[in-house]
Amino acid sequence: MNLTRSHAIARDQQDPLAKFRERFFFPRRPDGQPMIYLCGNSLGLQPKGVREALNVELDDWARLGVDGHFDGTHPWFAYHEMFRRPLAHIMGAKEHEVAALGSLTNNLHLLMVSFYRPTSKRYKILIEASAFPSDQYAVESQVRFHGFDPADAVVEVQPREGEHTLRTKDIEKYLEEHGQEVALVMFSGVNYLSGQAFDMGRITAAGHRAGARVGFDLAHAAGNLELRLHEWGADFAAWCSYKYMNSGPGGVSGIFVHERHADSPELPRFAGWWGNDPATRFKMEPGFKPAHGADGWQLSNAPILSLAAHKVSLDLFEEATMPALRAKTVAITEYLLALLDALPNHEFEVITPRDPEARGAQISLRTLNNGRALFERLQAAGVVCDFREPDVIRVAPAPLYCSFEDVWQFTQILAS
C-alpha cells in the first residue's frame, strides 16, 4: 500500500464523502489550524446546521409559547415522528421498531424492566468482559433489584488467555452449556475499549436457542456499523447519539424493540403518558394503553432542543447513506493500520481486530511504556483522541468528517 502523503491526498480527492467534512466545525489550535480530530467515538463534531435548527425552535418558543406544540414550524406534539425513517435506516429496522427518547442507560433500564424477567432457575445476565462501566452498573443493579447476587448472576465472557478480544464461538459455547440459567444476553455492538465489533446476528441466534432474551447497547455501533436489527431478531437495543451520530453532548438516546413485541400486553414496563396510545393520550384517563411499537416505551414528551440537533445530523446520514459510510470506514481503518504497521520502534500494540468485519471506525492501541505521557504528547501536537486507563489510546477516524490525510498526519506525529 502506498503510504505517502500525496497518496493520502489523492484518496481524499477521490472520496465521495469528502464534501461532508466542510459541514462540521473542527476545534482549532492556538495558531488557528484545525486539530486532527480522531475522537468521534467519544463525542462527534458539531454539524454546522445545528445552530440554525435550534434557532428555529427557540424562535417558535418565543413567538408561540405553548402553541408551538401544534402551530410551530415543526409542531412539537409530533416532533418525534420525524426520526422514525432515518433511525430505521441506520438501525436496519422497521419504522415502528425505533424511537428517539431519553438517555442511554435510562433506556437500558426501561428495556430490562420488560426483557429481564428472571426466575429462580433462569436469572443470569451474560455480558462481555470489559463492558462499559455504565452497562456493568446497570445489570448489577437490575439483578440486585430482583434479589440476586451480581457475583453469581452477572456472567462476563472473557477473551482467551493472551488474547484481547472475544471469539464468537466461545460466547456460543457458554450458551450451549449454561444457557438454561441465562435470562438475558446483553452485549455491546462494539466494545468501547478494544473496538471489537461483535457478531450480533450469531449472538442473537445463540441466545434465543438457549431460551434467553437478547439486547444490545449500541453506543459505539450506532452510526458506525451497518446494523440489521430486525433481520437479526434482537429483542431490544438502545444507543446514544452523541458519538458517531454527532448530535451534541448528552444528546438524545434511542431504542429498538422488535416488532414481535410491538403489541405485547403481557410485557411489564414502566409507563409514562407519552408512551400511551396517542388517540387517547389527551383524554387524561387512568389505565395505560401502550402505543404501537417502540413508541410504547416512551415516558415523557420529546426534548425538542436536543432532538433538533439530532435531526441535523440524521439528515447528513440520510444523504451520505450507511453503506457508503461503512465502505469508507473499512478503507480508512485499513490505511491507518498499514501506516501504524510501518512505524519503527513501536510503543504500542494494536488490540482491535484486523478483520474489518470485526471492527468499526475505532483502532485501539495498547501502549507498552507510559501511555499517559504518549497520549499527552499527542494532545500537545494537535491530535484529539482519548485515553482509557490503564494503557489504551483510542483512535477513531469517523468517516463523515475525517480524511485520509488526517490519518497520515496522525501517524507522522506518533512516529515523532
Residue 47 lies in a domain: no
Q: Mean per-residue pLDDT for 82-86?
A: 98
Residue 33 DSSP code? P
Residue 345 has pLDDT above 90, yes or no: no
Q: What is the pLDDT of residues 303-312, one digit of tens each?
A: 999 999 999 9
**Residue 367: helix, strand or coil by DSSP?**
strand
Same domain membership, residue 23 and residue 140: no
Same domain, 70 and 29: no
Same domain, residue pair 254 and 367: no
Average pLDDT over residues 86-95: 98
Are residues 233 and 120 part of one domain? yes
Is 97 a residue whose pLDDT tops 90? Answer: yes
Estimate the crossing angle of helix 5-14 against helix 404-415, to 10 degrees: 160
Domain co-membership, 138 together with 247 = yes
Task: Please say which residue of 291, 318, 345 terminates a domain.
Answer: 318
User: 275 lies in a domain?
Assistant: yes
Q: Residue type at 361?
A: A
Is residue 41 included in any domain, yes or no?
no
Percent of the chain at pLDDT exceeding 70: 100
The more confident residue out of 65 and 263 is: 65
Across the range 258-285, mean pLDDT stands at 90
Least Cα distance to 96 among 256, 244, 281 occurs for 256
Mean pLDDT of 360-365: 98
The CATH code of the domain that includes 83 is: 3.40.640.10
Residues 76, 223 within the same domain: yes
What distance in Å separates the CA atoms of residue 396 and residue 399, rounded to the nearest whole number? 9
101 in the same domain as 16? no
Read out DSSP for 100-115?
E-S-HHHHHHHHHHHH
- Give pLDDT tens digits for 23-51: 999 999 989 999 999 999 999 999 999 99
In the chain, the number of structural domains is 2
- Is 346 strand, coil or helix? coil
pLDDT band at 101 (very low <50, low <70, confident <90, very high): very high
pLDDT of 266 higher than 90: no
Cα(216)–Cα(12) distance, integer angstroms: 34
For residues 235 and 384, state if they share a domain. no
Q: Find the largest Cα–Cα distance for the chain.
A: 70
Could you say which of 263, 285, 318 is where a domain stops?
318
Same domain assignment for residues 331 and 303:
no
pLDDT level of residue 157 (50, 70, 90 thresholds): very high
Is residue 50 domain-resident?
no
Q: Residue 387 is placed in which grid cell? A: 485515553
Q: Kind and range of the H or E element at 209?
A: helix 200-209
Q: Residue 396 is part of which domain span?
A: 5-34+321-415
Please report the pLDDT score of residue 133 as a whole number: 94
Q: What is the pLDDT of residue 324?
A: 98
Average pLDDT across the chain, whole number: 96
Q: What is the pLDDT of residue 79?
A: 96
Q: Are residues 142 and 20 in the same domain?
A: no
Question: Is the confidence at residue 398, as pLDDT, over 80?
Answer: yes
Same domain? For 96 and 108 the reply is yes
Query: What is residue 189's predicted lDDT score, i.e. its pLDDT?
Result: 98
Looking at the predicted structure, is the pLDDT value of residue 283 above 90? no
Rounded-to-integer distance, Cα 175 and Cα 347, Å: 38
With a cut of 80, say whether residue 265 has pLDDT above it: no
Q: Which sign, positive or negative, has the C-alpha torsion 134, 136, 139, 140?
A: negative
